[in-house]
Chains A and B, each alone.
Chain A
């Protein structure tokens, strides 16, 4: 299981008294975002055979963000180098953490619990710079029009954040992230200005309205 969110979700579920299989289910649900990263990366990587099997293992937040921040060969290079270096670094440091967990009294004293979110801020910024300009291929003009109709990425990020916070007190850990994923599905499936209400296919399960968060 090389996908950090899922690892944390599984450990968190089991540590808080959940059944191991419930932890596995939570991990799988949270890992489903990698399938969507794969959708985004497939046109870039176009992997086949053993390469596809290897590429699949390296599809994570970091490699997807770096890969999709560039086009063509640059994107492929970014994906593979990011994926491989995170794979090596992550697993090496996991081993260090497992062996030396008692050496550090509390990582919070060093503010290390903010390292992840701070890194995500950088990744979000990288995503925003490209997602509006990624139209390419045979139907460029049509795609550009379609892209312009899609909601702004920062609006999607903000709504997703608010929905996640609004739902966090009411659902198990990990689920708020999936609720937020529904924002992208709805936002992307039905362009913001579309006047017909045909976007119900991608709507997430009922959840509390935004605004409960801050």
Chain B
């Protein structure tokens, strides 16, 4: 078990290092820059979707969707980071308490 933890940790670190160590020439490529800029957006979009709308392998819509909606509205109204997160958690907890 601990061997697996160490292997996983080493792999994760080396991937980070590899990303920082690529040569300048590669980074100057427009396509690489576009992909680099779009990747975080794609990954975050997917992480949000999966963490809100799935339970294990199943697709679900529950109290978390309300929390997401509150977060989106709060963010749209330019609320601060803490307000967005707290409001989303509170809304989700409220819906669960009422249900």
Contacts and interface: CB of A to CB of B under 8 A. Distances in A.
Interface of A: 1-3, 5-6, 10, 14, 19-21, 23-25, 27-28, 31-43, 45, 47, 52-53, 55-57, 59, 61, 64-65, 68, 108-125, 127-128, 131, 134, 137, 142-143, 146-147, 150-151, 153-154, 156-165, 168-170, 173, 176-177, 179-181, 183-185, 187-189, 191, 202, 213-214
Contact of B48 (A34, A65, A121, A173): A121
Count class of interface residues, chain B: 35 or more
B40 A169 contact: no
Given A38-B18, A122-B75, A111 B67 contact: yes
Contact of B46 (A42, A64, A164): A164
Nearest to B47: A120
Contacts of A64: 40
Interface of B: 1, 3-5, 7-9, 11-13, 15-22, 26-28, 30-54, 56-59, 61, 63-64, 67-68, 70-72, 75, 81, 84-85, 87-94, 96-97
A156 B36 contact: no
Instruction: Name the residue in B27, B35, B70, B89 with the highest tally of chain A Cβ atoms < 10 Å from its Cβ.
Output: B35
A156 B45 contact: yes
A188 B92 contact: no
Contact of A36 (B30, B36, B59, B91): B36
User: For chain A, what secondary structure do more than half of its interface residues adopt (helix, strand, loop), or is it mixed?
Assistant: helix
20 contacts: A2-B12, A10-B8, A20-B1, A28-B11, A34-B19, A36-B40, A39-B22, A40-B36, A52-B17, A114-B52, A114-B68, A117-B51, A117-B67, A119-B81, A157-B45, A165-B50, A180-B42, A184-B39, A188-B35, A213-B59
A56 B27 contact: no
Contacts of B90: 111
B29 to A, nearest CB: 10
Given A31-B11, A39-B27, A121-B68, A150 B38 contact: yes
Contacts of B89: 110-112, 114-115, 118
Contacts of B44: 61, 65, 120, 123-124, 127, 157
Given A33-B39, A110-B89, A170-B57, 6 more contacts: A28-B11, A32-B15, A119-B85, A153-B37, A162-B49, A188-B36
Contacts of A173: 56
Contact of B37 (A169, A181, A188): A188
A43 B27 contact: yes
Contacts of A59: 16, 19-20
Contacts of B31: 188-189
